[in-house]
Amino acid sequence: MRPHGVSNAYPTREEDPTCCIRRLVSRLDVSYRRKDGLKPAKPIFHRLSQTSQERRDASLTERPVDATVLTPSDVAAAEEKGKTVLYLAYGSNLCNETFRKARGIRPLSQINVLVPTLRLTFDLPGIPYTEPCFANSAIRDPGSDVAKAVEGKPDYHKDRWHKGMVGCVYEVTPSDYAHIIATEGGGASYEDVLVDCYPLPSADTVPSTPTTSPFKAHTLFAPIASATSPFRRPDPSYAQPSARYLKLITDGATELELPTEYQEYLNGIRSYTITSKRQQVGKVLFASIWMPFVLMLFGLGKTFQDDEGRVPQWLGMLLGWVFKGMWVSYDGVFRRAFGNGERTEECDEEDEGRGSLAGVRKSVIYCDSVVNLV
């Protein structure tokens, strides 16, 4: 059964490995840009006008876009008819630096929204020690929030928001939306779904139950990866995002003037920080071994991808093997030898009430002394 307010979503279907790879590529492509030492002038992005009520009302009769059959001629025909697409942005796409500058999207209008049927997650694995995880979306089950509260289990800081996804709906042209599909996923591995979005009033808090009139917006939803998938960690919520990536999200929330309550939640998320010399050594060694392969395959992906952003099956499988091998080497060797590459070691007890902080500190001091002796 599909969740209420979500059209054409298939959250239990196994996720295509190439879908995960394309999402990782899209985020890392932004992560590793402009590292030539130059600091270009930061462009000024003016706030757009609010999406009109007429356009929001028209969205109620729209249907999901089938990305598997979307062609350049379809996009051109929609452009000629003056059609637009309402796209739900979240995560780093809230930031102008990412969405409007790096991705080159030129939205026509915008409106801040609450989406009760979705929730923000950080369960997309990245690269240990550098970019441990990235933002993603998942179906929200309000019942699970109640169950956690009853059981008294401590949440990770990034899982402590229980009011649904807060984001921004942008009105974009069909060609810009086709570009979003190509860079974020595209093809059969991603589903274009329509979700009910409730405009957020100008207030410091987010309502538990929205009272504004909903409208429909498109977003790209990936099915849940199985527990045995190489793109799913044993504890999907365990990893912490990097400070760089988290800043994109918090900067975006500030730029969009999202409710203070939600901004405080985002600012309370702990970022991954290297706290020992052995972790720093592990980061350098891990990058020197795996980044040449990753960057080479990303380059091949850009060379061989089609107009919809899809890479050949053989390249997708190769990327999947490299990605799996990267995380297997981390779990089997690097984590044991060089320490945690997913979350800050000293934060474990303070952040989640798990483990002994004194023991962690003792092990860090011991490992640092070993590194110094070596």
Query: Is 61 in the same domain as 145?
Result: yes
pLDDT at 72 (0 to 100): 80
What's the whole-model pTM score? Answer: 0.80
256 marked ligand binding residue: no
pLDDT at 3 (0 to 100): 47
Radius of gyration of the chain (CA): 21
Structure-model confidence comparison of residues 257 and 45, the more confident one: 257
Candidate list 15, 97, 131, 184, residue with the active-site label: 184
- Does residue 11 lie within any of the structural domains? no
Highest mean pLDDT among 176-185, 276-285, 338-347: 276-285
- Residues 152-203 pLDDT 10s: 555 678 888 999 999 999 999 999 998 888 777 555 456 789 999 999 998 8
Query: Is 140 in the same domain as 207?
Result: yes
Does the annotation count 352 as an active-site position? no
pLDDT at 303 (0 to 100): 84
Tell me the pLDDT band of 332, cut-offs 50, 70 and 90. very high
Interatomic CA distance for residues 279 and 235, integer angstroms: 21
- Does residue 365 lie within any of the structural domains? no
Query: Is 190 in the same domain as 281?
Result: no
Query: Is 142 in the same domain as 251?
Result: yes
Residue 343, both tokens: 């979350």
pLDDT at 151 (0 to 100): 56
- Residues 100-125 pLDDT 10s: 998 889 999 999 999 999 999 998 88
Query: Is 249 in the same domain as 334?
Result: no
10 Å Cβ neighbour count for 241? Answer: 26
10 Å Cβ neighbour count for 52? Answer: 12
Q: What mean pLDDT is predicted for residues 85-98?
A: 94
Number of separate domains in the chain: 2
Domain of residue 288, residue span? 277-338
pLDDT at 356 (0 to 100): 36
88 marked ligand binding residue: yes
**Please, which contacts does 305-309 make with residues 24 or more away whose CB atoms are closer than 8 Å?**
305/182, 307/72, 307/182, 308/67, 308/70, 308/178, 308/181, 308/182, 308/186, 308/187, 309/22, 309/181, 309/182, 309/183, 309/185, 309/186, 309/187
- The CATH number assigned to the domain holding 220 equals 3.10.490.10
Interatomic CA distance for residues 335 and 227, integer angstroms: 21
Query: Is 98 in the same domain as 160?
Result: yes
Residue 297, both tokens: 């395959």
- Does residue 346 lie within any of the structural domains? no
- Does residue 136 lie within any of the structural domains? yes
* Domain boundary residue, one of 246, 268, 290: 268
Residue 73, both tokens: 């001629």
32 marked ligand binding residue: no
Structure-model confidence comparison of residues 150 and 182, the more confident one: 182
- Residues 214-227 pLDDT 10s: 999 999 876 666 55
- Does residue 41 lie within any of the structural domains? no
**Residue 299, CA distances (Å) to 7, 142, 218, 311, 359 in order:** 35, 42, 29, 11, 43
CA dihedral 139, 143, 145, 150 (to 10 degrees): -160
3-class secondary-structure state, position 192: strand
Query: Is 178 in the same domain as 323?
Result: no
Query: Is 74 in the same domain as 160?
Result: yes
Query: Is 217 in the same domain as 199?
Result: yes
Query: Is 244 in the same domain as 283?
Result: no
* Domain boundary residue, one of 268, 301, 318: 268
pLDDT above 90: residue 368:
no
177 marked ligand binding residue: no
Query: Is 112 in the same domain as 231?
Result: yes
- Does residue 214 lie within any of the structural domains? yes
Beta-strand ranges (E) seen in 140-289 are: 165-172, 191-199, 215-221
Interatomic CA distance for residues 287 and 341, integer angstroms: 12
Cα 333-229-144 angle, rounded to 5 deg: 110
- Does residue 374 lie within any of the structural domains? no
* Domain boundary residue, one of 242, 268, 294: 268
167 marked ligand binding residue: no
